[in-house]
Amino acid sequence: MLGYSDGDHAPGHKEDPGREPYLAAHHMLLAHGRAVRRYRAEFQDVQGGKIGITLNSYWGEPCSNKHADKAAASRYMDWQLGWFAEPVWKGDYPKTMRQQCGDRLPRFTETEKRQLKGTSDFFGLNHYSTSYIKNSAPSEEVSYHADQRTQDMQDKRWSKTACGWNVVPWGIRRLCKHIHDVYSPPGGILITENGSAWPDEDDAKKAVKDVKRIQYVQQYLAQVHGAIQDGADVRGYLVWSFMDNFEWQYGYSKRFGIVHVDYKTQERTVKDSGRVMSELASTNTLRIRQRWLEASNFSPPKAGGLRESGDDPLAVMVYMDADAFNEDDAFSFSVEGVQSQDEQINIGLSICGYLNYQGFSIFDGVLYFRKQEADDLETYRKSAPGTMLVVVRAAPQRPHGSRTIVPMGCVPAATDFLKRTGWRRCPMPFDWCCVTPKVWKHAMDNHFQTVIKSERGSKYHPYELMFSDISMLKRRRGWGTQCLHRSVERLTELLQKREAWGLMFFFDDAGLDEASQQAVLDTIINDVWHLADPSSPLSFDHIVLVWFESGTSLGEAVWATEEANISILQYALPSPLEDHSRLPPSDFLRIAEILEEKYPEVFTRGRPEHNEVSDVESDSEPEEATRHHQPSIV
């Protein structure tokens, strides 16, 4: 196609793009078949080698659930991959190509079909990027591209390499699964090329610190691992390339190597990515930052409905499979401000605010908003790309006013979805917290940086206390009910993986009406109690509820804890909190001191280490993993 349609490669033809590409490919396939037959007849038994073909392919994902776009994506894959793969594994061209091209597509004789089918001992795959595919109306143009009747689309959030290729790690996972399901190559799939070129790498000193290449390779490898878990028979992975080299029409201007080459002196310098690949090859283990792992999972929207029986039904669920965090300026500024202060602080903002900011409320991968604000789902998809959207309605018999937006019934459904899709954490690069409405409005006041700076070096770092080993939830005016419920589910997941050793919730019921207070108590009784049930295999060793004294009766909550390992600490604030304000850092420190004194068994337990790699390990035994080249991910 590049040589006989677009004219980018030799021989540079583009005069007859509706016929020459198909004719050239036809004779390449016939030549391939003859070469394989001769090797198998004369050399394979003696050498014990394997012979096959490598095909370059993008992955084409439908841009919507419309039948026309799905059919377009299928056609795209026929032209991208099936053009060569179908003859090699099935003996003839895809039917869609024959129907569209007619006699412009050469025909194999029956003998040629038999001789060509099965002429590869493995499926060699070169893959670099992915596109969304949209249906396109028939055109009078006759060419390789026009024949497909498709339109390529890109997501503006995708980063691009120096070649202008989109970085879309999840595409390789879907492509490998597609190859496995459609062709079932007996020798499995060998990824023969995957890699990236990045700008400003001519100087060896700069090129060595190739963080973007490391991120690229690790994210794509993580998705290859995912494909293996999905059942795809992937046997190996070869990064492109070992050294910087001549890159077709780019010449020496694009550098893909994990080893830098000085073209004047021929001096070689191993880049950091080379050391990463060396570690991977020697340990069969991929060490990847958690946020990179989660970011690699981003996939396109899949609209669907889910309804749950009960008093609090889920009205609509529209979800996306994984990553991306909100790009709103205020949101991003706050997150980056915290991250810049301490790389070890794993924090992400879950904004719960006024209606015009509800589109930015993310709770551990789930975006909630009320049905009356859900008329235009596309608006919400754009506001929080890569986040599962859950549209809910309040239970009619238990309205809690305009502030209560998430009834209890929908949260388990959303959580079940997250578990089924394998999520462990929210799709942002950090863990989560909840802030009060007006904190959102003043998100750019450097509050987060101030807190971190003022308490650095203290015995208890307030953000370490909040986000490392314990989940703290500051409850304000009904907004925290859904947060509490989701956090219980989140911490249940952690407990299943033995990553959580205790659980602590903070509540402030100042100004709540009776119905909202009851909602909080219901949550404690229905959710927290089950986590503390000694008979449950998922019970926490200890749960602490911190309730800011405001005159509310805790009778029902205390009753719910009598048979469970739950403690309640009532904490009298030195001075009343202003409406929508945050608890001062000094109070966090004081609460920590009280808790350590009252509950030493909680605060003296071993805490998990916090670093920038995930703890997701392969289910395979080491020998099994090595034999099938299946890396674990840590």
What distance in Å separates the CA atoms of residue 367 and residue 414, rounded to the nearest whole number? 10
Residue 437 tokens read as 């409405």
Residue 620: strand, helix, or coil: coil
Yes or no: say if 283 and 299 are a contact pair by the CB < 8 Å rule.
no
C-alpha distance across the termini of the chain, in Å: 40
Phi, psi of 37 (to 5 degrees): -60, -40
Instruction: State which H helix or E strand residue 106 sits in.
Output: none
3-state secondary structure 264-279: CCCCEEECHHHHHHHH
What distance in Å separates the CA atoms of residue 53 and residue 221, rounded to the nearest whole number? 22
Per this entry, what is the length of the chain?
634
The alpha-carbon radius of gyration of the chain (Å, integer) is 28
Which pLDDT value is given to residue 5? 76
Yes or no: say if 274 and 256 are a contact pair by the CB < 8 Å rule.
no
Residue type, 219: Q
How many other β-carbons are positioned within 10 Å of the β-carbon of residue 334? Answer: 26
Q: Which residues of the chain have pLDDT under 50?
A: 299-488, 490-492, 494-495, 497-511, 529-532, 536-542, 548-565, 575-586, 588-589, 592, 601-632, 634
Q: Position of tokens 């314990």?
A: 470
Measured between alpha carbons, how far is residue 341 from residues 233, 430, 463, 485 in Å?
43, 14, 11, 30
What distance in Å separates the CA atoms of residue 310 and residue 306, rounded to the nearest whole number? 13
Which pLDDT value is given to residue 86? 97
Residue 606 tokens read as 């071993």
- Extract the runs of DSSP E, i.e. beta strands, from 288-387: 301-304, 314-320, 349-351, 362-363, 366-370
Yes or no: say if 284 and 262 are a contact pair by the CB < 8 Å rule.
no
What distance in Å separates the CA atoms of residue 280 and residue 632, rounded to the nearest whole number? 10
| pTM of the entire predicted model | 0.53
Q: Which long-range contacts (CB under 8 A, 24 or more apart) does 92-99 make?
A: 97/147
How do residues 28-38 score in pLDDT, each as one tens digit?
999 999 999 99
What are the domain boundaries of the chain? 20-288+620-633, 301-603
What distance in Å separates the CA atoms of residue 72 and residue 60, rounded to the nearest whole number? 9
What distance in Å separates the CA atoms of residue 434 and residue 467, rounded to the nearest whole number? 11
Which pLDDT value is given to residue 493? 52
Yes or no: say if 272 and 210 are a contact pair by the CB < 8 Å rule.
yes
What distance in Å separates the CA atoms of residue 231 and residue 408, rounded to the nearest whole number? 36
What distance in Å separates the CA atoms of residue 600 and residue 603, rounded to the nearest whole number? 5
- Extract the runs of DSSP E, i.e. beta strands, from 297-373: 301-304, 314-320, 349-351, 362-363, 366-370
Q: Position of tokens 């060490």?
A: 287
- Return the C-alpha torsion angle 204, 210, 213, 217, nearest 10: 110
Q: What is the CATH number of domain 20-288+620-633?
A: 3.20.20.80
Which pLDDT value is given to residue 63? 84
What distance in Å separates the CA atoms of residue 583 and residue 576, rounded to the nearest whole number? 10
Taken in order 490, 493, 497, 501, the sign of the CA dihedral is: positive
Which pLDDT value is given to residue 282? 87
User: Which residues, 6 or more positions from 606, have their beta carbon under 8 angstroms from its beta carbon?
Assistant: 501
Yes or no: say if 491 and 364 are a contact pair by the CB < 8 Å rule.
no
Residue type, 354: Y
Which pLDDT value is given to residue 572? 52
